[in-house]
């Protein structure tokens, strides 16, 4: 089908507006025309969304798995299993994300992702745009649902091995850890989106990280410092935390898990208002319970990961806290539309072009523009997903 000229007609979601009636035409796996009005005569297949919407494919920069598989299982089969689950829900490009774990477990995960990316074809699921090196460099008190035993401080001997794979495009470390500054500098040299997460960092520690190249904070308000937590760690006078630093610096971006379980509507709306659609990303942080029945699962590797529960709405550790989400980006988009005043074009941008820009892949994906890959979603008028096309091929 990629050699066929396909026209998608309907309301087109552009990064800054809705084109009320237009056509997106694709051929050879790429977008070749975006225009107001009807499809051109060159189109030999026309897919009409009616009163629904035509959207770019979504991009998830923070995702751990789905459909019973975690990327840290470390096999191509597990990678494809999770990627297919996300593609069916509208994510056409993603960044498989590590948890805490041994160097051997992380190395296997990266190798499996690299193999799938190298041999990718549309029936493998969402396209791998890079790997997110997330665990293991977390602060001791901010490990969350990850394995405490797999947490450690960054050393060049270890992370240089991961960077040398050539597929790591996003790199996270808690800013207060010994060796964090060198890690950030190394990640920036590799042109990674360099982030701070699972951290109890103070403003001065964030400032040092910023100078070293850090420009993003993972899942806002989750496993991150606050003024009271920094006071408990460092005493008085009270210091600014990650929250204040991110909101005060225009170049800093962040992300929210808009599953209706992690953050209340006022926090979702506040994040959008304060950072705007160009610096706020929607992410799933989804685990292997996505698309699975309620029950007990492992977060991270299937044999050593920590146990958590899923009730079908969210992952959680009984009596402890939440354990990432169990829904995909299409749900995050609908939640933002329902719970905040953000317009549709802003919400879709936060799930597509903004993460593509932050991760450095916006030249090929993230918006419906001529020359970009033909990753196209069809929604009905209520933003329920109806069709998914990746590289011009129908996946749903």
Tens-place pLDDT, residues 115-130 = 999 999 999 999 999 9
pLDDT at 271 over 50: yes
The two structure tokens encoding residue 184:
């950030």
The two structure tokens encoding residue 346:
């802003």
Query: For 6-55+371-394, which CATH superfamily applies?
Result: Urease, subunit C, domain 1 (2.30.40.10)
CA pair distance 143, 357, nearest whole angstrom: 28
Peptide bond just before 200 cis, omega within 30 deg: no
Q: Are 120 and 87 in contact (CB under 8 A)?
A: no
CA pair distance 132, 253, nearest whole angstrom: 16
Name 376's bridge partners: 56, 389
The two structure tokens encoding residue 380:
């009905």
For the chain, what percent of residues have pLDDT higher than 70? 99
**In Å, how far are 189, 198, 313 from 89, measured between CA atoms?**
34, 27, 16
Please give the distance of CA 277 from its chain centroid, rounded to a whole number: 15
Residues in contact with 137: Cβ distance below 8 Å, sequence separation at least 6, in sequence order: 151, 152, 153, 154, 159, 172, 173, 174, 177, 180, 183
**What pLDDT, in 10s, does the model give residues 331-384?**
999 999 999 999 999 999 999 999 999 999 999 999 999 999 999 999 999 999
**What pLDDT, in 10s, does the model give residues 7-55?**
999 999 999 999 999 999 999 999 999 999 999 999 999 999 999 999 9
Mean pLDDT along residues 287-308:
97
CA pair distance 120, 114, nearest whole angstrom: 10
Q: How would you classify residue 366: left for phi > 0, otherwise alpha for psi between -120 and 50, otherwise beta?
A: left
Strand order of the β-sheet with 131-133 is: 131-133, 168-172, 193-196, 216-217, 253-256, 280-282
CA pair distance 275, 284, nearest whole angstrom: 19
At residue 132's C-alpha, the angle toward residues 2 and 85, to 5°, is: 50
Q: Which helix (H) or strand (E) holds 97?
A: none
How high is the pLDDT of residue 100? 97
How high is the pLDDT of residue 396? 84
**What pLDDT, in 10s, does the model give residues 199-231?**
999 999 999 999 999 999 999 999 999 999 999
Q: Are 196 and 203 in contact (CB under 8 A)?
A: no
Q: Are 134 and 87 in contact (CB under 8 A)?
A: no
Q: Where are the domains of the chain?
A: 6-55+371-394, 58-359
pLDDT at 2 over 60: no
In DSSP notation, 275-325 reads H-TTTEEE---B-TTTTS-SEEEEESSTTTSEEEEE-SSEEEETTTEEEEE
The two structure tokens encoding residue 245:
């630093």
Tell me the pLDDT band of 1, cut-offs 50, 70 and 90.
very low
Pairing of strands 18-27, 6-13: antiparallel
Q: How far apart are the first and last CA of the chain?
A: 14
How high is the pLDDT of residue 255? 98
Query: For 58-359, which CATH superfamily applies?
Result: Metal-dependent hydrolases (3.20.20.140)
CA pair distance 362, 200, nearest whole angstrom: 31
Computed over every residue of the chain, the mean pLDDT equals 97
pLDDT at 259 over 60: yes
How high is the pLDDT of residue 3? 64
Q: Are 44 and 74 in contact (CB under 8 A)?
A: no
């Amino acid at each position: 089908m990629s050699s066929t000229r396909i026209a998608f007609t309907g309301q087109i979601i552009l990064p800054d507006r809705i084109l009320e009636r237009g056509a997106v035409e694709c051929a050879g796996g790429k977008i070749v025309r975006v225009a107001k009005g009807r499809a051109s005569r060159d189109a030999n297949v026309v897919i009409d969304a009616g009163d629904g919407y035509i959207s770019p494919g979504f991009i998830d920069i923070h995702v751990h798995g789905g459909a019973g598989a975690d990327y840290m299982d470390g096999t191509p089969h597990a990678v494809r299993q999770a990627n297919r689950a996300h593609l069916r829900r509208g994510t056409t490009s993603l960044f498989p994300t590590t948890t805490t774990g041994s160097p051997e477990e992380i190395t296997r995960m990266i190798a499996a992702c690299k193999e799938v990316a190298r041999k990718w074809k549309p029936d493998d699921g969402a396209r791998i745009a890079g790997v997110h090196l997330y665990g293991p460099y977390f602060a001791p008190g901010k490990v969350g649902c990850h394995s405490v035993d797999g947490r450690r401080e960054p050393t060049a001997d270890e992370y240089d091995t991961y960077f040398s794979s050539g597929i790591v495009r996003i790199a996270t470390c808690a800013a207060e850890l010994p060796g964090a500054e060198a890690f950030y500098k190394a990640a920036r040299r590799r042109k990674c989106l360099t982030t701070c997460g699972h951290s109890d960092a103070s403003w001065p520690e964030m400032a040092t990280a910023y100078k070293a190249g850090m420009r993003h904070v993972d899942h806002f308000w989750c496993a991150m410092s606050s003024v009271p937590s920094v006071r408990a760690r460092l005493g008085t006078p009270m210091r600014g935390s990650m929250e204040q630093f991110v909101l005060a610096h225009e170049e800093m971006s962040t992300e929210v898990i808009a599953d209706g379980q992690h953050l209340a509507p006022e926090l979702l709306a506040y994040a959008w208002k304060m950072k705007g659609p160009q610096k706020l990303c929607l992410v799933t942080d989804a685990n292997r319970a996505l698309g699975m029945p309620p029950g007990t699962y492992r977060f991270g590797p299937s044999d050593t990961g920590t146990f958590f529960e899923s009730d079908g709405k969210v992952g959680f550790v009984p009596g402890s806290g939440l354990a990432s989400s169990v829904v995909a980006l299409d749900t995050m988009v609908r939640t933002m539309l329902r719970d905040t005043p953000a317009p549709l074009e802003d919400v879709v941008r936060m799930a597509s072009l903004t993460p593509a820009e932050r991760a450095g892949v916006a030249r090929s994906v993230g918006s419906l523009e001529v020359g970009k890959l033909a990753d196209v979603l069809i929604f009905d008028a209520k933003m329920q997903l109806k069709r998914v096309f990746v590289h011009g091929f129908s996946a749903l």
